[in-house]
A and B are shown apart, each in its own frame.
Chain A
Amino acid sequence: MPYNVKPEIGHAWSPKIVAFVCNWCTYTGADLAGTSRLKMDANVRVIRLTCSSRVNPLFIIKAFERGADGVIVSGCHTGDCHYSTGNYYARRRFAILHDLLQFMGVEDDRVTFSWVSASEGNKWQEVVNETTDRVRALGAFHAPLQEKGGETL
């Protein structure tokens, strides 16, 4: 258990999901989803950043370290970046991070990378709901793993 994750006494477990979104597309898209009164799971904490290339892979690692069960990273579609090329660079970094997380044994379903534009409120709703469902099915990230057994090399 990480040092600063406190068990929530008296509450059933519910996934904690951190979303790193870009200001120009996904944040606006999420705002649209909100003003359109779309029903979404309330498990996602949105962190607004200037661009998806502002997302240091360490953000995601730190989020898990500090008790998140899932992470969403979302920005503008390629070609639509407010800063022209930010998400192209980000895409390369995310690709490597995605592969590394898999190699480290973080389930693929815990981390969602997506492109959501400012007009895609519906897509944001789907991303949030699907990610929450998948993380809920996987269970808490910091649950003791030893019981599940595992082959040692």
Chain B
Amino acid sequence: MKELQELAAKLLTDGAVQVVIGYEEGPRGVRPAFITDPAQAGRLVFDARCVQNLATYLNPRRKHIVQLGKSAVVVKGCDARAIAGLIRERQIARESVVVIAVRCGGVLQRPAENAALNSETISVRCAGCDVREPKLYDYLLGELPPEPPVNAARSEQIAKLEKMTPAERRNFWNEEFSRCIRCYACREACPMCFCVQCMADKAEPQWIDPSPTLESNRAWQMMRVLHQAGRCVDCLECERACPENISLGLFSRYIADAVEKRFEYKACDDPAVAPPLGVFSTEDGEEFIR
């Protein structure tokens, strides 16, 4: 942590960056911090409560942060994938951001929790993580912590859903989507949702009915998931932001698995890898086409 604070102070003093986006102690757990004064760098912390994906703040749509100047951002491996995604999709230039990557030993489910990491408290997204030591960075800090425990709750739930009949699955999702209030918190929290105008906000033509009915909620979530296919970095910020606790994480895992199985693509922190739905192979499977 000292290493992180010193680096942040140095970057700000040298004028290499104007703002360091990191984590600080807040009234309810760890919260994002925007440090512009080198004297304040001591506020930065990093531990298992640092759940938030700070790559969201690099989104060019967030003008209030862009106007602060060049930023350095503290990331875990999973967040580095989001930065790689933004670079891959030409939203930011690699030179426009200083990536301070921290080796990660897994995170908790919520930043306000203060528990030891075990297979119940650890986030489901840490299961099978292969980017605990990110490859996309300018500075790489910390020692590599031991292999974290695995929380298999999500994969068990997906397996359970897959065993159901289609009607049962539809009932399950109907129950989930009927709770949606269309606050679009899932979209706002997402590092990869950067469209200047979201299709859900378009009135002419109106793709998605803005009132929260079951049908329009389903259409909205399916659209969101399809737009995220092959781009989602599985940071689970959508699920954490959801005030109705809709199981949005089930989608991100399921689609990521489908993309991996079909196109041999896994979300990675290498910006040079082509997005799977932006390219094709003549050998792609078409067993579902008659």
Contacts and interface: CB of A to CB of B under 8 A. Distances in A.
Is the pairing of A and B real? yes
Contact of A65 (B215, B247, B284): B215
B276 interface: yes
Contact of B161 (A93, A98, A103): A103
A64 B247 CA distance: 22
A91 B213 contact: no
- Which interface residue of B160, B262, B290 has the most chain A CB atoms within 10 A? B290
A152 interface: yes
A68 to B, nearest CB: 12
Given A58-B223, A62-B219, A93-B277, A145 B170 contact: yes
A89 B280 CA distance: 6
Contact of A92 (B157, B199, B251, B284): B284
A150 B177 CA distance: 16
Dominant secondary structure of chain B at its interface with chain A? helix
Given A89-B280, A150-B168, A78 B223 contact: no
Contacts of B207: 58, 62
Given A88-B280, A100-B255, A150 B171 contact: yes
Contacts of A148: 167-168, 171
A114 B286 contact: no
Contacts of A58: 199, 207, 219, 222-223, 226
Contacts of B286: 78, 91, 95
A148 B169 CA distance: 11
Which of the four size classes fits the interface of chain B?
35 or more
A105 B169 contact: yes
Interface in B226-270: 226, 229-230, 247, 251, 254-255, 258-259, 262-263
A97 B247 CA distance: 19
Contacts of A113: 288-290
Given A96-B226, A96-B277, A113-B289, A2 B170 contact: no
B173 interface: yes
B224 to A, nearest CB: 11
A104 B173 contact: yes
A87 to B, nearest CB: 9
A141 to B, nearest CB: 10
Interface string A105-117: 1111000111100
A131 B244 CA distance: 38
Contacts of B281: 88
B160 A103 contact: no
Given A88-B284, A151-B164, A104 B290 contact: no
Contact of B226 (A2, A3, A100): A100
Contacts of B146: none
A105 B290 contact: no
Contacts of B197: none
B132 to A, nearest CB: 28
B285 interface: yes
B255 A105 contact: no
A47 interface: no
A153 interface: yes
B213 A103 contact: no
Interface of A: 2-3, 57-58, 61-62, 65, 78-79, 85, 88-89, 91-100, 102-108, 112-115, 127, 145-146, 148-153
Given A103-B251, A105-B172, 17 more contacts: A2-B213, A2-B215, A61-B218, A65-B215, A91-B289, A92-B263, A95-B258, A95-B262, A96-B277, A103-B161, A105-B168, A105-B170, A113-B290, A114-B290, A145-B171, A146-B171, A150-B172
Name the 4 nearest CB pairs between A and B, nearest first.
A105-B170, A105-B169, A150-B171, A88-B280
